[in-house]
């Protein structure tokens, strides 16, 4: 029976693997959303910039005071990196992120009239906003069918076999967007992140309790 299972996983069509994984997430993780705390697009943009190479838990610890001190982009734009640093000094790379936040707020105020744009290319014009950050904001706030690829998404999608041939985050993003139905792309971003954060761990994945065993190439190879 096990040999048959291995052969089934190895020979599975990519489309069938995607369908199986998505169907499982739909049934077992109906609610999947960012763990960053925010109340509006401006606050989410701040939180995502701060979350680069930092845990959501740490970001959520510093943002309440930051949001209160700078309730809108105009207030943040009028501040300085030195002042902002004091609010975020416990996150990773606080000096650079303080500069990015002030620069982002100034451009958001001067160019975008204080409104966080929904277009990924426009978002990437803001200081501190790369493709991943832009995709997060566009998908979470505006429900755009874009896929933000962080370390969790990159690892999980490759392990399962969704993006076996993808060697870069951009290749992974393009493959996932190609095969995931458009209406599920934004949610799938959270499915993969949460799965990587709590089940498909980097050093020791919890394969024995994972519900995706039937479709996972990694499980097949290491069982």
Marked catalytic residue, from 97, 106, 150, 187: 150
The set of residues, in sequence order, having a beta carbon less than 8 Å from that of 124 and lying 6+ positions away, is 130, 131, 134
Marked catalytic residue, from 16, 132, 174, 204: 132
Distance CA 152, CA 142 (A): 22
165: annotated active-site residue: no
Residue with tokens 């949460």: 194
Helix, strand or coil for residue 162? coil
16: annotated active-site residue: no
DSSP class of residue 90?
T
Length of the chain measured in residues: 223
User: Residue 185: in which H helix or E strand, if any?
Assistant: helix 185-198
Please give the positions annotated as active site.
132, 150
């Amino acid at each position: 029976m096990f040999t048959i299972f291995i052969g089934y996983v190895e020979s599975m069509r990519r489309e069938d693997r995607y369908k199986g994984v998505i169907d499982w997430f739909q049934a077992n993780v109906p609610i999947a959303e960012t763990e960053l705390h925010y109340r509006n697009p401006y606050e989410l943009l701040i939180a995502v910039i701060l979350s680069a190479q930092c845990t959501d838990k740490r970001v959520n610890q510093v943002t309440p005071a930051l949001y209160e001190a700078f309730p809108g982009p105009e207030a943040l734009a009028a501040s300085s990196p030195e002042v902002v640093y004091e609010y975020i000094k416990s996150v990773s790379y606080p000096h650079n992120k303080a500069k990015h936040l002030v620069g982002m707020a100034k451009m958001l105020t001067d160019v975008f009239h204080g409104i966080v744009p929904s277009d990924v290319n426009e978002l990437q014009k803001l200081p501190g906003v790369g493709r991943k950050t832009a995709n997060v904001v566009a998908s979470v706030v505006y429900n755009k069918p874009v896929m933000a690829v962080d370390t969790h998404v990159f690892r999980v999608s490759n392990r399962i076999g969704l993006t076996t041939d993808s060697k870069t985050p951009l290749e992974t993003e393009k493959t996932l967007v190609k095969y995931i139905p458009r209406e599920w792309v934004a949610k799938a971003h959270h499915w993969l992140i949460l799965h990587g954060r709590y089940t498909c761990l980097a050093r020791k994945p919890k394969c024995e309790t994972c519900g995706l065993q039937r479709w996972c190439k990694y499980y097949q190879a290491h069982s």
